[in-house]
Every structure is written in C-alpha cells, then in structure tokens.
Structure 1
Amino acid sequence: MSTYVLIHGGGDVGWSWHLVAAELSSRGHDVVAPDLPGGETATFADYTGAVIEAVGDRRDLIVVGHSFGGYVAPLVADRLGAGLLILVAAMIPAPGESPAEWGRNTGWGEAARAQAARDGGLTGHADPYVGFLHDVPRALADEAMRRERDHPSPGMTQPWPLRAWPDIPTRFVLCTEDRCFPADFLRGLAIERLGVVPDEIAAGHCVPLSRPRELAALFESYTSGR
C-alpha cells in the first residue's frame, strides 16, 4: 500500500485532512498530514523540511497539496522522489513565481470577480462560512475556524524555487462549486501550466472536509493497476 502525504492550505492545519486520512487508512494506506510551520520567518525550505521530517523513512509516496499546498507539494515530491503528485483545488506555481504574484500572473482576481458577478457575490465573500465552508457540515466548519492560523511568512513573497515542474505524474482535482478558485479558471490553468485535464468533484473549496469519502476514492483510483 501507499503512503499519502497530505499537505494543507494556507491558514489550515493537518487536521483539515483528518476525514480523508481516516478513509485512506481504512483502505490500508499509511497517511502523514503534518502542520506546516507558521510564524514570521517560515520559508518554503521550512515548509518542505517539516513535511520531509514527518515522512521519515516511509516509501511509495503519493504527495497531495490542497490550495496553497500546491506550492509546497511539488517541492516535497521532488525532494522525496514521489511516485505521484496530486493537486486539489490548488495553486499551480510557475518557476520563480511567488504566491503574492500568482493571482496577478494567472488572472485569478478577474476570474473571481466575474464569477462573483454571476453568483450574486458568493465567490470571494468575506464570510468564510459563505466563501469557503459553505458545503461543510456546520460543526466541522466551526472546528475548522477554531483551528485556523495565520501564515504571515516570507513564503508569500519568496519566489518558487524549482526551475521546472517535477518529472512526476501529476493529477489535478477541481471542485465545481469552489468559491475561492473558480472552476473555469482552474480548468484553463491546469491545462496551460501542467498539460493536465482536471478531474472534477461537486464540492466547494474545502473538499477534504465536505467530500472526504469521494476524494479518497478518487485518489485511490489513480493508483489502481500500479
């Protein structure tokens, strides 16, 4: 069986993956879902180092990144020689592109405003229960908000350090009800930057909490026959 390395998004913690981790564990897989370091000095090297330390000597790795984790997962996969890289509703960086530059370079802001105009302002809504957690059960959404952290770190302005995307099979999971990264926007970006047609799941941005069983099944489908 495989070891899944689950990397959370900005402001989240490893707990955000706990339901998916339980599903994968029930299918016989090992799972690692560490907290990324926070604080004023954390860098991409710190993020990558923390995940690698948590992985230890595990092998047969599948590295998964959600949202901002799309910046970290390729670094980890590259360092550890993972067999598969999966991005979930994730940012897709270009070489040298910082997270702060990503929105402008990709046209994300324009795409989000256009979708907000169509959906009556739900996309990009300031209330996280509307803009991010709208399809997460309320008790889980409350717990996610309780655990939320700030990540005010140099990682937001630090250039992404890889010179090219890792030579690792890569899959992309797109959430059709995402009110953070609009589906049409990510469809185009995944093709443009990865040459990958996304797989789609009917969920909002916080899909690890809203559709854990479906997400785990999709992950496992990628490795059937390996």
Structure 2
Amino acid sequence: MATYVLIHGAAADSWYWGPLAAELRDRGHDVIAPDLPCEDESAGLAEYADAVVGAIGDLTELVVVAHSFGGFTGPLVCARVPVDLLVMLQAQIPAPGETPGAWWDNTGYGAARQEADRRRGVPEGTEEDPVTLYLHDTPAPLAAELMAEHQRTQAAQPFGEPWPLDAWPQVPTKALLSAGDRFFPVEFMRRVTVERLGIEPDELPGDHMPMLGHPKELAERLEAYRAAR
C-alpha cells in the first residue's frame, strides 16, 4: 500500500482531487490532499511545502503528484521527506533560482500559447472563458462546482520568490501531460520537460484538470508508474 500525496495548483483548493482520490483509495492506498495557503499574503514556497510535509507526518511509501503550480512545491517536499516517486502532472517545472513569476518568460510560454491558439483558430487577443480554456473536457457538473465553490484568491507572495533548490531532488521522477490542455499546450510542456528534466513525458487524454475528466485512467497511469519504479 502506498500513500499518494496530491498537491494542487494555484487559486484553488484540494477538492478537485476527489475523483482521483476515490480511485486510489479503491485500490487500497492512503491519499492525502492538503490545502495550500494560497490566500495567505505572507506565505511563500517554504510555507506551501510546510503544509504538505505537515500533512504527511509519519506516513511512508510516498508517491507525490504535483499539478500545475504545484510543480514548484512538489520537489521541495521531496527534498525534505523520503519520497519513492514524484509525478509532475501537467506541472510547471522550476529551474534553480527561478521565481514562479519569471517562469513564463523563461520558458517561452507566451509565444507557445499564441501558436497553439492560432492552430485552434482562436482570434488573436481573444480572452477565452475559464471553462473553455481549462475545463472543456471536464464533466459539466464538476466544472460548474469547481468554478462556483472552489476558486480561491491566489496571493502574489510565492511568485516573487526564487525556487530554493540548487538541483532537482534525487527522487525518481515522471512527467505526465494532458494531451488536450489549452492552457499549458502539450507541445510546449513536452519541450520544457525535456529541456529541464531530460526525460520524455507521457500523455493521457484531458484538459488542464485530468483528475476530474479522466480519474480512472489517471489512477491507472500512476499505479503503473509505482509498480515499475
């Protein structure tokens, strides 16, 4: 039995892990999905990692799954507690000393997103609504609940803090991408993953929130990673 540690992204709470957590618990695993202090203007990356490490406590056989902005927190947790496997799920991959705020320009996100939008036929300058951008492959009731009840204000503090590790932690790492994500286009994420981690990512169907739209397949992928480590 493993303990899956699920780290959510920016401006949200841990609710969105629910369908995946249920799938993993049905397979006999423990699951923790702590809420990060994203509304706290005094909380930075260290405090985000503190929240996760505190929730882990004495649990062992850890599989850390970091999603989106959670990619800045996941490796920090791995540097502090013994982790068997880190899975970067459609996650931002930081470089040593890089602030989350600088990540976008440093990775060439703007140009990559513009090209991906052009390929989809989105007129330049169009502001797409969140459901169209993030949740187009999520079941409508779950998308509506997420938007209505689980959006949180995201404090600016962590975006100006340099990522504190000198190198990637010594933990087996996998990268899993959502093939249909419009916010983090898959071609862009694949390039960043290869450049920064030197590994080829895998893909599964879905938008930016595959844990809502494809929880069973995501659980199967995670279990396959765990079994093969």
Tell me if TM exceeds 0.5. Answer: yes
Q: CA deviation at 1:150?
A: 1.5
Residues 184-224 of structure 1: CA deviation (Å, up to 9, x unaligned): 11111111110111110111111111111110100000121
Q: CA deviation at 1:45?
A: 1.0
Residues 110-168 of structure 1: CA deviation (Å, up to 9, x unaligned): 10001111102299843001000111111100111121101113101111111101111
Matched, 1:184 2:154: no
Q: CA deviation at 1:40?
A: 1.1
User: Please, what is the CA RMSD of the aligned residues?
Assistant: 1.4
Relative distance call for 1:122 and 1:10 in structure 2 (3 A) is farther
Report the counterpart of residue 203 of structure 2 in structure 1. Answer: 200
Report the counterpart of residue 12 of structure 2 in structure 1. Answer: 12
Could you list the runs of 5+ residues in structure 2 that have no partner in the other structure? Answer: none
Report the counterpart of residue 42 of structure 2 in structure 1. Answer: 41
Structure 2 distance, partners of 1:121, 1:90, is 24
Relative distance call for 1:225 and 1:85 in structure 2 (3 A) is closer
The list of structure 1 runs, each at least 4 consecutive aligned residues, that deviate by more than 6 angstroms after superposition, is none
Residues 79-107 of structure 1: CA deviation (Å, up to 9, x unaligned): 11201100011100000111110010000
Report the counterpart of residue 131 of structure 1 in structure 2. Answer: 133
Q: CA deviation at 1:53?
A: 0.9
Q: How does 1:1-226 map to 2 (within 5 A)?
A: 1-37=1-37, 38-121=39-122, 125-145=127-147, 146-225=149-228
Q: CA deviation at 1:77?
A: 1.4
Contact 1:125 1:131 (8 Å CA) reproduced: no
When normalised by structure 2's length, the TM-score is 0.95
Structure 1 distance, partners of 2:12, 2:191, is 26
Residues 17-47 of structure 1: CA deviation (Å, up to 9, x unaligned): 0110000000011000010012211111110
Contact 1:41 1:153 (8 Å CA) reproduced: no
When normalised by structure 1's length, the TM-score is 0.97
> Secondary structure in 2 aligned to 1:88?
strand
Structure 1 distance, partners of 2:100, 2:122, is 24
Relative distance call for 1:140 and 1:122 in structure 2 (3 A) is farther
Aligned length: 226
Could you list the runs of 5+ residues in structure 1 that have no partner in the other structure? Answer: none
